[in-house]
Amino acid sequence: MSPQPSSITALSAPGKVLLTGGYLVLDRAYTGTVFALDARIHVVVQQKRRGHRRGPSTASADVRSTAPSGDAHDNKAEDEVVEEQDTIVVVSPQFKDAIWEYGVQRCENGGGVKAVQKSKGPRNPFVETSLSYALTYISYVADSKDFGSLTVTILADNDYYSETATSKDWSIKAPSERFVHFGVPLLEAHKTGLGSSAALVTALVSALVIHRTMQASDLAVGRDKLHNLAQAAHCAAQGKVGSGFDVAAAVYGSCLYKRFSPAILESIGDVGSSGFDERLFAIVEDVDPKHPWDTECVDFGMQLPRGMQMVLCDVECGSQTPSMVKKVLEWRKNNRQEADILWGTLQNNNERLRQELKRLAQHPDANADNEFTEVGALLQRTRHLIRAMTRQTEVPIEPRVQTELLDSLTEIDGVIGGVVPGAGGYDAIVLLIRDDPSVVTRLNERLVTYESAVEDDFGGKIGKVRLLGVRHGSDGVMNEELKQYAGWV
């Protein structure tokens, strides 16, 4: 481990599309095919210099200077330096008033480290939980319990959120800008459903751990530990629900995913509980004999076949995924035989689709005409089964307005097929298309005048539909160069 923290660390993690396996992936008997996207959440961690003044020392006994040896400090004057308590300031400068200040609270009896919000305003549970979990792990493994004061900057690639008047105006004025000002508070921003929370948690805990305990070059060898820590933090932040496929994609990139046993994370308990730090360490390091990690991820870096591309369409709406998941699982519990037949049929079709995509990627000459006929047929079969799940569960997995949109777009020449990915609902839809600019042109022409004409079966309403700039990407969490953040950090 590095004895001294670096002064600045920058990482990013990708969003995701669960092409197949929505709801099935909650059960270890089934799998999901998840593709990482080229839209990423970026986190930059900077070490702040400590403020000091002359006078009697009032610093806490466990707060010590982090100045490297040889720094210009007069040892004789140490008792005259009053050090600031550790503080962490988190800024999301693309949004209005998006700044949070946290104090660091060390809990008794091995309860770990809590990030306690000091600033006014709404809480951000994903940031707060990520800080607490990362600092607890760092405190347990590092030689020093002193974190110093940090500034954390969070930046999102533009496609994570629907356009606002401000963001659209900004992009016109500065089209070369990677990041735009959204011009609204974070709570008022409409997410497009690309997995921003998992990408955020992954990038944040990874940046903090690497900043304090590793070199940037250690990212590859430490990836499994970062995955385990991110899964634990994300699960806690969203109420101990979810399969973790989005975190797996954020860490490893595109893959076939089988979830971990829920008991692994249930055994940790909560921050502040006695022995939390030791339990978290055992889970992150995978040394708990009672709860070894059993996640199965294969085909890391899975690619689309040559001649195929993935695009997403934002419908300017959104879904309450946890409540949808709860309803589907309740239906499955009460209708087990019927559900198992549907789940099994979907799993079989999803596996056929994955194998066909893999076959075409490995043998590009097998599809010289780029028609991808079998892929289109399997996607249509997936949609047929998802609509059956929608009717039986009475949950808007593929609601009528999304059916109308998908039917309209999949009839365009060059569109292979599409689905409402993941848990479904009113998030962005995903399309597989021929990798040809003319197909994108035809899609944009259709969307310019597109208006929904059906009455939705769940009362939902989609607004203006917009083709996002996001495309398929296969890489997981990665180090970033600082120059791209000029003007933001």
Strand stretches in 143-247, DSSP E: 149-156
| Dihedral angle, C-alpha 284, 481, 246, 117, nearest 10 ° | 70
Residue 57, domain member (yes or no): no
* Nearest Cα residue to 486 out of 50, 93, 5, 14: 93
* Nearest Cα residue to 457 out of 400, 403, 395, 393: 400
Q: Mean pLDDT in the chain? A: 86
Structural domain tally of the chain? Answer: 2
Helix, strand, or coil (residue 14): strand
CB atoms within 10 A of CB 354: 20
Rounded to an integer, what is the distance from CA 271 to the centroid of its chain?
22
pLDDT over 60 (residue 183): yes
Residue 431, domain member (yes or no): yes
| The predicted structure's pLDDT at residue 79 | 38
Sign of CA dihedral 476, 481, 484, 489: positive
Spatial separation of the C-alpha atoms in residues 174 and 390, rounded to whole Å? 43
* Nearest Cα residue to 15 out of 410, 487, 421: 421
Spatial separation of the C-alpha atoms in residues 252 and 298, rounded to whole Å? 10
Summarize the confidence of residues 323-350 as an average pLDDT: 95
Q: Looking at the structure, tell me whether residues 347 and 223 fall in a common domain.
A: no
* Nearest Cα residue to 5 out of 72, 50, 35: 50
Spatial separation of the C-alpha atoms in residues 387 and 372, rounded to whole Å? 23
Spatial separation of the C-alpha atoms in residues 247 and 156, rounded to whole Å? 16
Which range, of 161-175, 203-217, 252-266, 367-381, averages the lowest pLDDT?
161-175
Tens-place pLDDT, residues 14-40: 999 999 999 999 999 999 999 999 999
Tens-place pLDDT, residues 450-473: 999 999 998 888 888 999 999 999
Report the CATH number at residue 354. Answer: 3.30.70.890
Query: Is residue 268 within 8 Å of 232, Cβ to Cβ?
Result: yes
Q: Looking at the structure, tell me whether residues 387 and 420 fall in a common domain.
A: yes
Residue 414, domain member (yes or no): yes
Alpha carbon distance, N-terminus to C-terminus of the chain = 27
pLDDT over 70 (residue 348): yes
Residue 25, domain member (yes or no): yes
Higher local confidence (pLDDT), 103 or 369: 103
pLDDT confidence of 142, banded at 50, 70, 90? confident
Spatial separation of the C-alpha atoms in residues 447 and 467, rounded to whole Å? 8
Residue 72, domain member (yes or no): no
Q: Looking at the structure, tell me whether residues 326 and 180 fall in a common domain.
A: no
Report the CATH number at residue 103. Answer: 3.30.230.10
Residue 419, domain member (yes or no): yes
Residue 97 Rama label (left phi>0; alpha psi -120 to 50; beta): left
Q: Looking at the structure, tell me whether residues 152 and 26 fall in a common domain.
A: yes
**Residue 338 structural domain:** 308-467
pLDDT confidence of 214, banded at 50, 70, 90? confident
Say if strands 87-91 and 99-106 run parallel, antiparallel, or are unpaired: antiparallel
Burial of 3 (0-12, 13-18, 19+ CB in 10 A): exposed
* Nearest Cα residue to 299 out of 478, 418, 423, 474: 474
pLDDT over 50 (residue 365): yes
DSSP 467-488: E-S--B----SEE--GGGGTTT
Q: Looking at the structure, tell me whether residues 275 and 379 fall in a common domain.
A: no
pLDDT confidence of 168, banded at 50, 70, 90? low
Q: Looking at the structure, tell me whether residues 234 and 129 fall in a common domain.
A: yes
Say if strands 478-479 and 8-20 run parallel, antiparallel, or are unpaired: antiparallel
Helix, strand, or coil (residue 3): coil
Tens-place pLDDT, residues 418-427: 999 999 998 8
DSSP 116-163: EE-SSS---HHHHHHHHHHHHHHHHHSS-S---EEEEEEEE-GGGB--
Spatial separation of the C-alpha atoms in residues 314 and 161, rounded to whole Å? 9
Q: Looking at the structure, tell me whether residues 461 and 479 fall in a common domain.
A: no
Residue 113, domain member (yes or no): yes
pLDDT over 60 (residue 372): yes
Q: Looking at the structure, tell me whether residues 258 and 191 fall in a common domain.
A: yes
Q: Looking at the structure, tell me whether residues 209 and 116 fall in a common domain.
A: yes
Q: Looking at the structure, tell me whether residues 86 and 15 fall in a common domain.
A: yes
pLDDT over 70 (residue 60): no
Provide the token pair at 242: 């979810």
| The predicted structure's pLDDT at residue 193 | 83
pLDDT over 90 (residue 239): no
Q: Looking at the structure, tell me whether residues 276 and 293 fall in a common domain.
A: yes
Q: Looking at the structure, tell me whether residues 161 and 282 fall in a common domain.
A: yes
Spatial separation of the C-alpha atoms in residues 143 and 483, rounded to whole Å? 32
Provide the token pair at 115: 């990030």
pLDDT over 70 (residue 173): no
Residue 313, domain member (yes or no): yes
Which range, of 107-111, 243-247, 285-289, 295-299, averages the lowest pLDDT?
295-299
